[in-house]
Structure 1
Amino acid sequence: MSLPKRMKLRTFAVLFCIITFTTLLFTYTFRDPSLYFLKHAFRLSDNFFTKGPCGCRQCITELDDSLWFAEHFNQSIHPLMTKENSVLSDETFKWWQWLQSERQPANFSEVVEELFQVIPNDPLYMDASPERCRTCAVVGNSGNLKGSHYGKLIDSNEFILRMNQAPTAGFEEDVGSRTTHHLMYPESAIDLDNNTHLVLIPFKILDLQWIISALTKGTIKYTYVPVMSRIKANKDKVLIYSPTFFKYVYESWLDGHGRYPSTGFLSLMLAIHICDEVSVFGFGSDKYGNWHHYWEENLLAGAFRQTGVHDADYEYNITLALADKHKIQMFNGS
C-alpha cells in the first residue's frame, strides 16, 4: 500500500475514534449523574471567560444552575405598573382588594388614568445590553446594621433600595448615605430628596388616590390612620409597585404564607427582578437575637412583631435560600 493511502486510513481511524469517544462521553455525561461534574466543569470554564446575559461574572437570571430558583422566578411579570399593564385580572383584583378592604372604593380604571397624568408612564426598564452589570443593595432596617461599618460598601452600588422610615442622617457609617429607590406605602411615608425614586406599594385603590393627592392638592389626610397629606418627592421619579407582581411574590415565593409579604421582602423581590447582582443588608435579628430597628435605642422597641400579617420566619428562610443558591449575597452585620 502506498504511503498516501496509509496516511489517509490512519487519519480516518483517528477521526473515527475521536467521534466515537465524544459521542459516548456526552451520552453518559447526560445519563449518568456520576459524570455530571464533567458537564459542570465545562460550563464553569466557559462562564469564566464569558459573562452570560449581563456584564457580571454571575447574573441572577442564569436559571440553569438552580432548579429551585427557576421554579419560582418569572421574569415575564413586570414589577412596576404602567398604564399599559395596569389592567388586572378578576382574580388579582379581588385578592388585592382583600388585603385592606375599602367600604366604597373608587373606580380603579379612572384612578389609574388620573395617576398617569401626574406621574410618568416609563418606569425603570433601562439598559438591557449584554455589557450591563447593575449592582443593587437592598438595605433593611435591622438593628444588626449598628456598628457594621457597611456604609461605603452600600453606597458603592448602582441602585440602593431602602424602605419605610429608614433614616440615614447620623447613621451614614453603618447604613450609607445614598438612596436611589425608597419603597413605602401611605402609612409609612416620609419626605424624599429630589434624586430618589419613590416606589409606592399600594394595598388598595385609596393608596393610588393618596399619591395623586400627596403630589398635588393634599386633600387626603386619612386612610385607616392619619397620613401625610403632602409629600416632598420628585413626581417625575414616582413608581408604582404592580398589584400583579405583588400577588406573584405572595404565591410563587411565599406559597401563601402570611396575609401578604412585608415591605422588606417586596423590596428584595423588586431587586431580584431588576438587578444583576444583589447584596442584602439589615435583614434578620442582631447577634443577640433581638429584632429592632437600627435607629432605636431600646432593643425591644421595634421588633418585627407577630401580628399574623407577615410570616417573618418563612420570608427569612426564603432569603437564606436565595443566599445559599448564590443568587444574593447577605451581610449579617453586628
Structure 2
Amino acid sequence: MKSWIFKLPFLALCVLFIYWKSVEFMSKEDWSTTYQRILSSSRAFLEVEDWTGNDIAEEEAVPACSMRHTIKKDDSLRKDFNFLVPVLQWRDTFTQPEWQKLHNSASPYGWKDQTYDEIGKTLSLLWHPSNSRLFMRNTTDECVRCAVVGNGGILKGSGQGKAINSHNYVFRVNGAITKGFEDDVGTKTSFYGFTTNTLKNSLASYYADGFIMVPRDPGIQYIFIPAGTRDYVMLAAAIQDKPVPSGYDMGDRPSQYFGDSPQVTQFKMLHPHFIKYVTERFLNSSLLKAYPDIYMPSTGALMLLTALHTCDQVSAYGFITDNYGEFSDHYFDKEKKGLVFYANHDMQMEGLLWKLLHSRKVMWLYQRQNPNTNSKNSTGKQERRK
C-alpha cells in the first residue's frame, strides 16, 4: 500500500500529460469550451471575495489601442477580468482591514503564519509612490506595449530579438540569459519577476549555461512574488542593503543579486489579492486541490497576467504552445531537453489560457514550427508580431 502512495504524484502527472496531448487536436471551439469547463468546475476552492475593498473605485482611462476595449466587448472575458484588483502591494495597502482579510490565507494568497509587525515593517519600506505601480504613462493616450519573455526553447533560432526590444517594456523571469542569444531574445529588460526560491534555483541550475547574475540593466525594476516568508525577508534586506537577518536565506547579501545600493523605486511586490484573483479566475487548476501546499501559477504566468492587467498591448514570447514537444525546454539548452511537468504548476492549463487569449486578440502569442522537425502536432504556422 505504501508504495502506491509514492506513485500517486507520478500517476497524476501521467494523466495530465495524456490530457494535454488530447487537447492538442481540439478545434478552437472545443479547447475554448474545455478550458472554461475546467475553470468553472474548480472555482469553488478559492473563496470569492471583493478584492478591491472600494465600492466607488473606477478603472483608469486607457487609450484606444488598449486590449481592455476588446475584453469589454467579450461577454465571457468581461466576467473574468477585473482591473480594479490591486496588482502590487506597498505601504499604503497595508491596513487593518487588509490584515483581517489576508492573515488566515496561506502564501502566496495571504499572510498566514506571519505576524502583523513583520508584514507591516516590510511593506513600510515600500514607501515611494512608484512602488504602487509598474510605470507611468507619458500622456493619457500613450499606447504602452509590453513583451513578456519566457525561457522556452521555441525562441532558439527565432530571430525575435529586435521585435522584443521594440516594446516599451520587457518582462523577463528566472534564468533570463541574454548574452549570446541577443538575436533571439533581445537585450532589453525592464522588469525581472521571481520568487526568492526561483531566483536562487535559477542561478544554481543555469550558471553553466550563462546565467551568472540576474539582469541589472539601468533602470530595471524587480518584481517579488510573495510565495512565502522568505520573500518578505529578502525584500526588506534588499531595500535596506543589509544581509538577510534570519530564516532560510540568513546571511545572504542581496547585493549579490541586485547590485550595490539599489534604489527603493526599483522594487515591487505582487499583492496576495492579485495572485488569488488570477488563480481563481484563470488558473484554478485541479492541482490546487490535490497539492494545495505547493501549487501556484508559474512565475512566467504571473508576469504575463501582470502585464495583461497593466499594459495596453501584450506580446508573449517563449511560452508553451501546442507543439512544445518540437523544442527544447529552454532556448539556452546546449542539448535538447524535453519539457517536464510537475505538480507545482499546471503548464497545460496555462497553455490553454494563452491560446484562448491569443485567439480572442487579448494578447499575442509567439508560435512557430521547428524547421528541423516534421510534427503532426504542429500548428504548421509561424506568426510574427507586426
TM-score computed with the length of structure 2 as normaliser: 0.64
Matched, 1:155 2:165: yes
C-alpha distance in structure 1 between counterparts of 2:312 and 2:72, whole Å:
15
Q: How does 1:131-280 map to 2 (within 5 A)?
A: 131-189=141-199, 190-215=214-239, 216-220=241-245, 223=248, 229-230=254-255, 231-233=257-259, 234-235=262-263, 236-258=265-287, 259-280=295-316
| Structure 2 residue corresponding to 1:59, chosen from 42, 50, 67 | 67
C-alpha distance in structure 1 between counterparts of 2:108 and 2:299, whole Å:
17
Q: How does 1:1-334 map to 2 (within 5 A)?
A: 54-57=62-65, 59-87=67-95, 88=98, 90-97=100-107, 107-116=117-126, 121-124=131-134, 126-127=136-137, 130-189=140-199, 190-215=214-239, 216-220=241-245, 223=248, 229-230=254-255, 231-233=257-259, 234-235=262-263, 236-258=265-287, 259-284=295-320, 288-290=325-327, 292-300=329-337, 303=339, 305-333=340-368, 334=370
Matched AA of 1:299: K
Q: CA contact under 8 A between 1:186 and 1:228: conserved in structure 2? A: no
Q: Measure how far apart 1:268 and its partner are.
A: 0.8
Q: CA contact under 8 A between 2:91 and 2:124: conserved in structure 1? A: no
Q: Measure how far apart 1:326 and its partner are.
A: 0.5
In structure 2, relative to structure 1, the CA distance for the partners of 1:97 and 1:315 (3 Å cut) is: same
In the alignment, structure 1 segments of 5+ residues that lack a partner are 1-52
Instruction: For residues 214-233 of structure 1, give each alpha carbon's deviation from its aligned partner in whole angstroms, at most 9, with x where no partner exists.
Output: 34112358637996643225
* Secondary structure, counterpart of 1:132 in structure 2: coil
Q: CA contact under 8 A between 2:90 and 2:132: conserved in structure 1? A: yes
Q: Measure how far apart 1:276 and its partner are.
A: 0.6
Matched AA of 2:236: I
Q: CA contact under 8 A between 1:159 and 1:180: conserved in structure 2? A: yes
C-alpha distance in structure 2 between counterparts of 1:85 and 1:276, whole Å:
24
In the alignment, structure 2 segments of 5+ residues that lack a partner are 1-60, 200-213, 288-294, 371-386
In structure 2, relative to structure 1, the CA distance for the partners of 1:228 and 1:263 (3 Å cut) is: farther
* Secondary structure, counterpart of 2:258 in structure 1: coil
Q: Measure how far apart 1:296 and its partner are.
A: 1.2
In structure 2, relative to structure 1, the CA distance for the partners of 1:239 and 1:101 (3 Å cut) is: closer
Q: CA contact under 8 A between 2:221 and 2:266: conserved in structure 1? A: yes
In structure 2, relative to structure 1, the CA distance for the partners of 1:192 and 1:168 (3 Å cut) is: same
Instruction: For residues 50-100 of structure 1, give each alpha carbon's deviation from its aligned partner in whole angstroms, at most 9, with x where no partner exists.
Output: xxx644545334433211211110000121112112343545443333779
Q: CA contact under 8 A between 1:105 and 1:205: conserved in structure 2? A: no
C-alpha distance in structure 2 between counterparts of 1:212 and 1:55, whole Å:
36
Task: State the structure with more CA Rg.
Answer: 1
Q: CA contact under 8 A between 1:136 and 1:161: conserved in structure 2? A: yes
Q: CA contact under 8 A between 1:291 and 1:299: conserved in structure 2? A: yes
**Identity among equivalent pairs (%):** 24
Instruction: For residues 278-300 of structure 1, give each alpha carbon's deviation from its aligned partner in whole angstroms, at most 9, with x where no partner exists.
Output: 11110016654445111111322
In structure 2, relative to structure 1, the CA distance for the partners of 1:61 and 1:80 (3 Å cut) is: farther
In structure 2, relative to structure 1, the CA distance for the partners of 1:284 and 1:57 (3 Å cut) is: same
* Secondary structure, counterpart of 2:92 in structure 1: coil
TM-score computed with the length of structure 1 as normaliser: 0.74
C-alpha distance in structure 1 between counterparts of 2:332 and 2:115, whole Å:
36
